[in-house]
């Protein structure tokens, strides 16, 4: 897994932290980054939002090893 340039998990999972922030992935359990907050927007808007879509596009360009939290991922 560490050697893969892309990870499909980002397209399947939504991780919502206790304060409502939608983390990029469970690896970022401290919520250092987020796609939005469920108290401020709908799940649908966050799921389909520009931040999340932009992140996925960067991953698809094989930039996984340069993007947090994927660059520290041990899964």
- Which residue number, 13 or 19, has a Cβ lying nearer to ligand SF4? 13
Contact 65, 56 (CB under 8 A): no
Residues from 56 through 75 that contact ligand SF4 (CB under 6 A):
64, 69-70, 73, 75
Alpha-helical (H) ranges within the chain are 43-47, 50-60
7 interacts with ligand SF4 by CB under 6 A: yes
31 interacts with ligand SF4 by CB under 6 A: no
Residues forming contacts to ligand SF4 in the complex (CB under 6 A) are: 7, 9-10, 25, 27, 64, 69-70, 73, 75
């Amino acid at each position: 897994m560490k050697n893969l340039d892309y990870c499909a998990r980002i397209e399947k999972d939504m991780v919502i932290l206790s304060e409502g922030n939608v983390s990029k992935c469970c690896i970022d359990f401290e919520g250092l980054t987020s796609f939005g907050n469920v108290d401020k927007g709908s799940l649908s808007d966050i799921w389909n939002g520009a931040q999340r879509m932009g992140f996925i596009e960067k991953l698809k360009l094989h930039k996984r090893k340069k993007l947090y939290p994927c660059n520290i991922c041990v899964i």
